[in-house]
């Protein structure tokens, strides 16, 4: 494979991961819009699902820190 073919393949894989993440977001938003109240745990689960999808094929992302 040439460098250009590898780059194109990586772009396609990246596009597929982004598409999957958008699908998760769209599905969760549709469910959440039907409710008046959404727990912070459900929002955290959604964000973790999206993060997992986006980092599955990428290099490990540094752990997020929260200053309180």
Structural domain contains residue 62: no
Q: Is the pLDDT of residue 18 over 70?
A: yes
Q: Would you state the pLDDT for residue 62?
A: 52
Q: Would you state the pLDDT for residue 55?
A: 82
Domain range spanning residue 36? 3-55
Q: Would you state the pLDDT for residue 63?
A: 56
Lowest mean pLDDT segment, chosen from 4-8, 23-27, 29-33, 51-55: 4-8
Distances (CA, A) of 42 to 31, 33, 47, 49, 57: 11, 13, 9, 11, 24
Mean pLDDT of the chain: 80
Structural domain contains residue 67: no
For residues 25 and 34, what is the distance between their CA atoms, to the nearest angstrom? 15
Q: Would you state the pLDDT for residue 24?
A: 87
CA-only gyration radius of the chain, Å = 16
Per-residue pLDDT, averaged over 14-36, amounts to 87
Structural domain contains residue 65: no
Domain count, the chain: 1
């Amino acid at each position: 494979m040439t460098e250009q073919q590898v780059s194109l393949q990586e772009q396609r894989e990246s596009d597929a991961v982004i598409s999957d993440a958008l699908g998760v977001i769209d599905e969760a938003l549709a469910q959440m819009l039907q409710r008046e109240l959404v727990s912070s745990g459900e929002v955290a689960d959604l964000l973790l699902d999206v993060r997992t999808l986006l980092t599955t094929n990428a290099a490990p992302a540094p752990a997020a820190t929260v200053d309180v």
